[in-house]
Structure 1
Amino acid sequence: MERRRSFPDVLAGGIFILIGGAFVVGALGYELGTPLRMGPGAFPLLVGVLVAAMGLAIVIKGLIAGEVISFGPIPWRAVGVIVLAVLFFGFTVRGLGFVPTSAVTALLTTLASTRVRPLTALAVAAGLTLASTLIFVVGLQLRIPLWGPWLGF
């Protein structure tokens, strides 16, 4: 019987193990407490162990019962536009404010797909901007100005 190894599964599982291990190491710097009075390090420790265990299961699956998967071409346009959108948000949110920065970021990420029409992209960007403003600025009360000083408001 031929065994196939899935490199993407092994790689993804390894990344999960690294992230889970980082959570475990970080959690050990805090007090763990007892099972009835958990300290601040108990939850990150538990999450780290669970993530690392899932990663180990993915690695084992990739080594034992992997599938040969062809990925196809990399969508470079989408990768570039999404990276540009994240950088745009990070560099302009304080200057432009949350609303215009969110709108442009949502519009850019929506236009990363070649199948989205411009009118649909505008509608999605408007909906995402409204939802994110209600969630982050109104609901979570983040101290980010809605309109920034670069716009003169």
Structure 2
Amino acid sequence: MTRVVPGIRLRITTQLKDLIELYRHRARSDTDAQAGTTMKSVSFDATEAICGAIFICLGIFFAWQSYDLELGTAFRMGPGYFPLVLSLILVLLGGVILLRAGKIAGEPMGSIAWRGIFFILPAPIFFGFTVRGLGFVPALFLSALIASFASHKMKPMMAVLLSAAITVFSVLVFNYGLGLPFQRFGPWLNF
């Protein structure tokens, strides 16, 4: 003998209706997705395509120019070997960028990071203009200090410590490790 309690039966019926409605909603969503209405659209990014094409053209141009120099072999590299390898890497990178130009549309890009542009761009330019006059150590320290302020999270003391660490590491590697002859301090400083 089965005993039916009206409150429980009503609750089970309501839950069944909810499950059926959920199933129907999912079935509609799946059909819409298969029809392409809710799928992400595939778009063509012209900026990336142009960038990839420029990389490929520059790589081909410099590879062609490197053939005027002696290539040598992998064990005895000539003056044209390294530019040729870099040119081929540039062509490969351009091809990857060009392939990524046709991509699935994602989230839109955020605003331009003006702070990063303002601090990162002048740092190597400053280094290039001051390395002969100031010398390697001060030019690198100041360039790293300028670039470190591109981040909102960088505190002044941390920026100084980071710049000092980069400078010490670079002097150890390039001057002592590799034995590259360069002036640590230039003629603008009377040391």
TM over 0.5: yes
2:129 aligned residue: 91
Cα offset for 1:46? 5.0
Structure whose alpha-carbon radius of gyration is higher: 2
Q: How does 1:8-87 map to 2 (within 5 A)?
A: 8-31=47-70, 41=80, 44-45=83-84, 47-63=86-102, 65-87=103-125
Work out whether residues 52 and 96 of structure 2, in 8 Å CA contact, stay in contact via their aligned partners in 1: yes
Task: Provide the rounded CA distance (Å) in 1 between the counterparts of 2:177 and 2:110.
Answer: 41
Cα offset for 1:47? 4.6
Superposed CA RMSD? 2.9
Give the structure-1-normalised TM-score: 0.78
2:175 aligned residue: 137
Percent identity over the alignment is 38
In structure 2, stretches of 5+ residues that fail to align are 1-35
Higher relative contact order structure (alpha carbons within 8 Å, sequence separation ≥ 6):
1
Work out whether residues 4 and 67 of structure 1, in 8 Å CA contact, stay in contact via their aligned partners in 2: yes
SS at match of 1:4: strand
In structure 1, stretches of 5+ residues that fail to align are none
Letter in 2 for 1:30: L
Work out whether residues 9 and 66 of structure 1, in 8 Å CA contact, stay in contact via their aligned partners in 2: no
2:150 aligned residue: 112
Give the structure-2-normalised TM-score: 0.65
> Is the aligned partner of 1:100 residue 2:152?
no
Work out whether residues 42 and 105 of structure 2, in 8 Å CA contact, stay in contact via their aligned partners in 1: no
